[in-house]
Amino acid sequence: MNAMQQHMIDAYRAAQRGEAAPPLPGAGDVRALRALRDWRRFEAVVTAPADRLPARLRRAVRSLLSPRTAVSAPVGHRPYPGEEVRENAPHIGGSPAQCG
């Protein structure tokens, strides 16, 4: 049974009971779409770009699709204080490598 047939049955039942007829199918669609548009505009103003739903979804999809590899130090990584530095290791962080 489609929506129009159901509406006709509901309208008949309402008329038998002396009640108001239900609204036509799709009568509130435009109002709902406008409310959704207004909400998205409001959300765009008050929410940081990185916290919006599309950005969160992209991050989630990227994390699911990216291969699970060990995290290595970024290029140019300098050791933290107290971290051991090998003497003959090449240094990429901006100073020339020590050759010896």
| pLDDT tens, position by position, 48-90 | 877 777 788 888 888 888 876 655 555 665 656 665 655 555 5
- Our CA dihedral for 30, 36, 37, 38, rounded to 10 degrees, sits at 110
Short-list 83, 72, 71, 79, CA closest to 91: 79
Q: Is the pTM of this model over 0.75?
A: no
Q: What are phi and psi of 69, to 5 degrees?
A: -120, 160
Distance of CA 63 to the CA centre of its chain: 13
Residue 89 CA to its chain's centroid (Å): 43
H or E element, residue 15: helix 3-17
